[in-house]
Structure 1
């Protein structure tokens, strides 16, 4: 992944291929990004905090392209490629794997509609990588 200070891949840049907890020492801002391979979670603040954005392979010539609220990127994490050929996860309506259990093996655009519950407090990943969205 390559982070650029200017829009349309211009200006000072920082190239990264692993997790980076504090990018502020390398860049003062970030207005464009190229993801050459893989997937990354980028965070607005250092130490993997603040607003976060999921980026897959592609070009993002302006921060609005990745739904950024501003030109700040403080840290990033590599999302490892899944080694398993299958994707499976169990969702639980209570903490510590309690209550009703729901199996997932594919994308689920709306957990509330699919399982008729708005309470999900724990999960077990059996295989693959998964990404939850708040809304």
Structure 2
């Protein structure tokens, strides 16, 4: 377990170092940081063995890329939300069988739950930061 945490820590340091090279204010930097934090969160929640991780992450990367493409296309084309959610669900169903080849069923289920939890935490953090930023702006204008 310590070895996995060491590898994960090294990975996170490398991710943050790579994103820092983009410079402050770059959109990629924030997205890469969130992705690195999500990877750490999922790794922790799923407690993946090295063998499971080796099988899981390549599948996850394809899954995440398909979801990203659907969401980006929807944003560009102003696609109705219901249609986007149907596409997302289709991707999740497709990858459920792929994830099941790499992980036992309880970990696949835990993955979907952890992914949802991460999204909720991210949204909460964003809202809190937005609220604090608004409070600072209100104080500055007084």
Shorter-chain TM range is under 0.3
Structure ranking higher on relative contact order (CA contacts 8 Å, 6+ apart): 2
Higher-strand-fraction structure: 1
What TM-score do you get using the length of structure 1 for normalisation? 0.25
Higher-helix-fraction structure: 2
